A and B are shown apart, each in its own frame.
Chain A
Amino acid sequence: MSRAVEDSNRRMLRARDAMDRDYAKPLDIATLARIAYVSDAHLIRTFRATFGETPHRYLQRRRVERAMFLLRETDRDVTEICLDVGFTSLGTFGRTFHEIVGESPTTYRKRAADLRAVPACFTRAWTRPSSFGEARPRSVD
């Protein structure tokens, strides 16, 4: 009865894993849809139903999370980091970073917390910024 859901989840997870692994590459919806053996439209709709956000938004968060790491832990400049994590435009990177983190890459770097190193898989999961849906709405005054 639920086999179809399980099978679908598993394929969506495969697409998500690909984003976690290959975030620096130019991943597009068609590539991810091929990994999940579904159509482009099906991928977007089903991924969101499964994980609560679109694949595009997930990939943006993954890339921004990597950028946060590189800003904290390296002295590479912002333009290099932008390209390192898979963005192709500094404008899009800066805007997306600000939307998700709430401040610019440069400001974030200055105040980045002293995160003690723990096994990287945990750091990765727990320092990842929230998606728009999870984040507290900004107050409108």
Chain B
Amino acid sequence: MLKQITHSQVYVLDQDDALEFYVGKLGLEVNTDADLGFMRWLTVNVPGEPDHQILLERPGPPAHDEATAEQIRELVTKGAMGAVAIFTVDDIHKTYQELLGKGVEFTEEPTERFYGTDCGLRDPFGNHLRIGQPAEGPIEVPAPGQVAAENS
């Protein structure tokens, strides 16, 4: 029986820039920042939630040959690596304004949907993240033809 997710991972092009964004702007906390010699093990977590860490990993030798690392970096910067995570907040509009003020690059402003209100953004490298405020109460999946909000 699997119990919980403790680690997720995202490729970043520069770990210092990643810290500046994920901690400095998004407000995550550094969980571990350790020089293992062969790599800098750098993880962050949502404040107060150290049981789920996100590893900010730099692609490159010896884990990847340089050509492969280049391909990964190309995919990251093309936005082709999928979503890093979906975070929740209590007040999405407030968070949106705060992050906008810090220069965070949003791909989508807060949009109401049946499952809540969510928005999309990118990290400095091109990775996609989402922040949402879940709908209150039980979620009802709308029948086709009954989608009220702009489901963009």
Contacts and interface: CB of A to CB of B under 8 A. Distances in A.
B87 interface: no
Nearest to A24: B152
A66 B122 CA distance: 22
Categorize the interface residue count of chain B. Answer: 20 to 34
Contacts of B126: 9-10, 13
Contact of A6 (B74, B105, B113, B146): B74
A20 interface: yes
A113 B64 CA distance: 43
Contacts of A74: 145, 147
A116 B114 CA distance: 12
Interface extent on A, as a size class? 20 to 34
Interface stretch (B1-9, B22-30, B77-85, B92-100): B77-85
Interface in B118-145: 120, 122, 125-126, 130, 141-142, 144-145
B41 interface: no
B13 interface: yes
B125 to A, nearest CB: 7
A115 to B, nearest CB: 6
A137 interface: no
B147 A2 contact: no
Contacts of B73: 2, 6
Interface of B: 13, 70, 73-74, 76-79, 83, 105-109, 111, 113-115, 120, 122, 125-126, 130, 141-142, 144-147, 151-152
Given A17-B122, A73-B151, A116-B144, 10 more contacts: A5-B70, A5-B77, A6-B73, A10-B125, A21-B109, A73-B144, A73-B145, A74-B145, A112-B144, A117-B147
